[in-house]
Structure 1
Amino acid sequence: MDTCIRYLNFAILLLFTLCYSYQAVFVLIRWFGKKKKYQAKTQHRYAVIISARNERAVIGGLLDSIHRQNYPSELVDIYVVADNCTDDTAAVARAHGAVVYERFNHVQIGKGYALNYLFRCIEERVGLDTYDGFLVFDADNVLDENYITSMNDVFDQGYPVVTSYRNSKNYGSNWISAGYALWFLRESKYLNGARMQCGTSCAISGTGFLVASEVIRENHGWKHHLLTEDIEFSTDSIIQGRVIGYSEDAVLYDEQPVHFRESWNQRLRWSKGFYQVLGSYGKRLAEGIVKHHSFQCYDMMMTLAPATLLTLLTIVVNLVFGFAGVILGHTSWTVMMLEAVGGNLFGIYMSLFFFGLITTITEWKRIHCHAGKKILYLFTFPIFIFTYIPIAVVAIFKKVTWVPIPHTIAKNVQEIRS
């Protein structure tokens, strides 16, 4: 039995290593690979698309940052859908120069439905072909002044979808907001950045992306309505063979939750959404891997795979053996259980710490908070990720619905950087 326990733990460790070692290679690619420079030949015409629900406190800041772009204003129109709002979000958006539509639908709830409604409104108003592409943002976002220019540089290379560099308004608020922010920075720098250098597909992350008008026409609007519509869209695009581009110079700032309850609810929706996407698209991703040897499909499968559940299963199995050892008098089982559980948790903690460390080092100047907090939150980052384990378990059994997260931080780019 001792040998079986050791083999089990070794097999799980080997599985993790084989599945995710490519992400360590991504780090090397970013360190030693040459970053490509893009220069657009054409300034394309865009529509900015914003779905907002009770966002009067922050939407003005986003709209102001759009008006301050170093891009011809006559080539950018702004559309807002005030979705089931009970405040004056619509009035604030109109006062800041946006074309606003108000939607009230308490059955079809979620960002995907709101986006689809807004695309239909634009089609009826001016036609989707009026624009070369659509820039999609959340109401709490703020854009660097070169954002649209940088996105246009990549879009002009022929990418049908382009995502951007996701930074944070409130990295230094506490360990929760820093946990989110560091994960998104790492995702931008060492996942999407490496994918772009390798010529494989990136993935959009919630907000701050550009979609070509022909993609919206092909999809007959926005057809993705699972709880994580961004991951669903990315997965569907990859299965269809689209390559999603990435612009590292297009910097977006968004607000992260600071209260654990809000964070729990948001990440519960994300976890449930990942299960939904895996259930709906997993078979086709697997076919892409097996039949077409698609790295893009493999990469997305690893993104969707519930690694937290495998971690939990490993801990539970070892605990069962350990307690059995206590009952049956096999002290070696208990010792191995303690070694395995402690070793697994320590190994995962150090792996997360490593990714957090290299991200903090390379993105130091882009992380806008005091140096002491940057260092402190390196140590709490793995703990933040560990809290996904109970969330992932609850998401299996609990019915999850879309719940809005309140946003209150109204800062411009200069205030964020100061």
Structure 2
Amino acid sequence: MLTLFGHIARRSLAIAVLICYAYQLRYFIASHWKSRKVHDAGPLRDYAVLIAARNEAAVIAALIQSVKHQSYPASHLDVIVVADNCTDDTADIAREAGAVVYERSNRQLVGKGYALGWLFRQLESDHRSYDGYFIFDADNLLDENFVLEMHKVHNAGYPIVTGYRNSKNFGDNWISSGYALWFLHESQLLNRGRMHSRTSCMVSGTGYLISQDLLERLGGWHFFLLTEDIQLTAECIVRGEKIGYAERAVFYDEQPTHFMDSVHQRLRWIKGYFQVFKIYGEPLIGRLGKSGGFAAFDMLMSYLPAFFVMLAAMAMGVGMMALNIAAAGNISEALTSIGLFAFKSTIVIFALGVYTMISEHKQIYMPIRKKIWCCLTFSIFMFTYGPIAIAALFKQVNWTPVPHHVDTSISAIKRQQNVKA
């Protein structure tokens, strides 16, 4: 009887995983078989690069310089920094680098979303108007053609566009490489597949462009949850606004290298997912079956199901163990089931890491030995999401900044490919 119960439970879990993620096979096929449309630049537009920075003196000058060196005409591109609750000389360094700087002090409403909302109000009161706004974190770096490539997709009719997210400290350790591989997977498998499937892409953190027209349709900037990027994505999908992806628009950000910094960041992300789905879950479900319904389904499936599938797997293992002990004092079947699930999950995650590493190898500037090591440790990084997700259910989470220290340049990142392992 217990064997039958275990068999049914495992089959049910496998079916749940299939329902949640089988549709992404469409993105895999589309990203490889669909032709890549090359967009024309079209008429020039005026853009502002907006940077929310809190105590980012170590890295902000490099970002501003990478903006100043864009192939897009400088006369159509302003750099504007909101120095948010800074206690260092971020504001002075940004001004010296050529940015317009606004200084904000508010210890109650903290976080990137609040800082951007305040900055948009300041720009409006100062009568600064642009066709669109690039949103960056201070630790980012831009490839010289980033703005031009984003502009092309924007001119093709997308009111919001996200870029190709790479990492400037990819090979520092297993934590930074875990983040980096996942973000490349989001960019080049998911968002590229979505773009080629003509459904909406998704914004992830930073490195995106939002038009002034869209901001007006949305009623201004009002994205203040712990994950303001996911909130913005959900709002756009509910309203039927399609997000584009510019795969040739490459930017880099810095990943955490200390485990507790990573824990705090991912706690905020997962808590933010809960906040978003509490507000937008019902409207997204209501969108199903209508125009843009597939994007709504994608949004619903992309975040929370993985968490609940993991909880179901853990509950199944504990339940099997308890039943076996109650029936015969034997826990071997339960342990075998748990071990088999963990092994299969490890293989799947490892394969995902290897596929991403191979498909994006030209954009990953590390020696081959480091690349192999990053693939081997990717499963470990992804499994650490389990206890973090469970903690997020019960823990009060507030926005806290992640420290950034990697002061480098695009050319320095690309030279790493030639360094011996």
TM-score, scaled relative to structure 2: 0.96
Equivalent AA in structure 2 for residue 172 of structure 1: G
For the pair 1:414 / 2:411, whether they are aligned, the reply is yes
For the pair 1:301 / 2:300, whether they are aligned, the reply is yes
CA-to-partner distance for each residue in 1:20-49, whole Å, 9 max, x for gaps? 012233222222222221112111110111
- Tell me the distance in 1 between the aligned counterparts of 2:98 and 2:292: 48
Deviation at 1:321, TM superposition (A): 1.9
Greater Cα offset, 271-280 or 18-27: 18-27
**1:136 paired residue number:** 135
**1:109 paired residue number:** 110
- Tell me the distance in 1 between the aligned counterparts of 2:265 and 2:75: 37
Unaligned runs of 5+ in 2: 416-421
Deviation at 1:324, TM superposition (A): 3.1
**2:387 paired residue number:** 390
Deviation at 1:350, TM superposition (A): 1.6
Give the conservation status (yes or no) of the 8 Å contact 1:202–1:244: yes
- Tell me the distance in 1 between the aligned counterparts of 2:146 and 2:353: 25
Equivalent AA in structure 2 for residue 351 of structure 1: V
Report 1:170-189 matches (<5 A): 170-189=169-188
Deviation at 1:291, TM superposition (A): 5.4
Equivalent AA in structure 2 for residue 339 of structure 1: T
**2:153 paired residue number:** 154
**2:249 paired residue number:** 250
**1:45 paired residue number:** 46
Equivalent AA in structure 1 for residue 142 of structure 2: L
For the pair 1:55 / 2:52, whether they are aligned, the reply is no
- Tell me the distance in 1 between the aligned counterparts of 2:368 and 2:233: 35
| Moved segments of 4+, more than 6 Å | none
For the pair 1:338 / 2:339, whether they are aligned, the reply is no
Report 1:291-370 matches (<5 A): 294-329=293-328, 331=330, 334-370=331-367
Give the conservation status (yes or no) of the 8 Å contact 1:172–1:373: yes
Share of identical aligned residues, percent?
A: 44
| RMSD, aligned α-carbons | 1.4
- Tell me the distance in 1 between the aligned counterparts of 2:46 and 2:247: 21
- Tell me the distance in 2 between the aligned counterparts of 1:95 and 1:114: 21
- Tell me the distance in 2 between the aligned counterparts of 1:386 and 1:289: 31
Change (3 A) 1:218 1:38: same
- Tell me the distance in 2 between the aligned counterparts of 1:197 and 1:24: 13
**2:194 paired residue number:** 195
**1:12 paired residue number:** 13
Give the conservation status (yes or no) of the 8 Å contact 1:201–1:245: yes
Equivalent AA in structure 1 for residue 362 of structure 2: K
Equivalent AA in structure 2 for residue 195 of structure 1: R
Q: What secondary structure, in the 3-state scheme, does the structure 2 residue paired with 1:276 have?
A: helix
- Tell me the distance in 2 between the aligned counterparts of 1:355 and 1:318: 25
Give the conservation status (yes or no) of the 8 Å contact 1:227–1:402: yes
Give the conservation status (yes or no) of the 8 Å contact 1:120–1:221: no
**2:240 paired residue number:** 241
Give the conservation status (yes or no) of the 8 Å contact 1:309–1:393: no
- Tell me the distance in 2 between the aligned counterparts of 1:120 and 1:220: 12
- Tell me the distance in 2 between the aligned counterparts of 1:287 and 1:336: 42
- Tell me the distance in 1 between the aligned counterparts of 2:50 and 2:290: 37
For the pair 1:377 / 2:374, whether they are aligned, the reply is yes
Give the conservation status (yes or no) of the 8 Å contact 1:162–1:210: yes
Q: What secondary structure, in the 3-state scheme, does the structure 2 residue paired with 1:393 have?
A: helix
- Tell me the distance in 2 between the aligned counterparts of 1:74 and 1:145: 16
**1:80 paired residue number:** 81
Equivalent AA in structure 2 for residue 52 of structure 1: A
Give the conservation status (yes or no) of the 8 Å contact 1:47–1:77: yes
Deviation at 1:303, TM superposition (A): 1.6
Greater Cα offset, 193-202 or 304-313: 304-313
Q: What secondary structure, in the 3-state scheme, does the structure 2 residue paired with 1:207 have?
A: coil
- Tell me the distance in 2 between the aligned counterparts of 1:362 and 1:341: 32
Q: What secondary structure, in the 3-state scheme, does the structure 2 residue paired with 1:40 have?
A: coil
Deviation at 1:323, TM superposition (A): 3.5
Equivalent AA in structure 2 for residue 350 of structure 1: I
Give the conservation status (yes or no) of the 8 Å contact 2:20–2:305: no
Deviation at 1:313, TM superposition (A): 2.8
Unaligned runs of 5+ in 1: none
Give the conservation status (yes or no) of the 8 Å contact 2:16–2:309: no
Deviation at 1:355, TM superposition (A): 1.5
- Tell me the distance in 2 between the aligned counterparts of 1:293 and 1:67: 37
Give the conservation status (yes or no) of the 8 Å contact 2:13–2:312: no
**2:418 paired residue number:** none
- Tell me the distance in 2 between the aligned counterparts of 1:51 and 1:74: 22
- Tell me the distance in 2 between the aligned counterparts of 1:345 and 1:323: 19
Equivalent AA in structure 2 for residue 198 of structure 1: S
Give the conservation status (yes or no) of the 8 Å contact 2:153–2:245: yes
CA-to-partner distance for each residue in 1:232-267, whole Å, 9 max, x for gaps? 000110000000000000000000000000000000
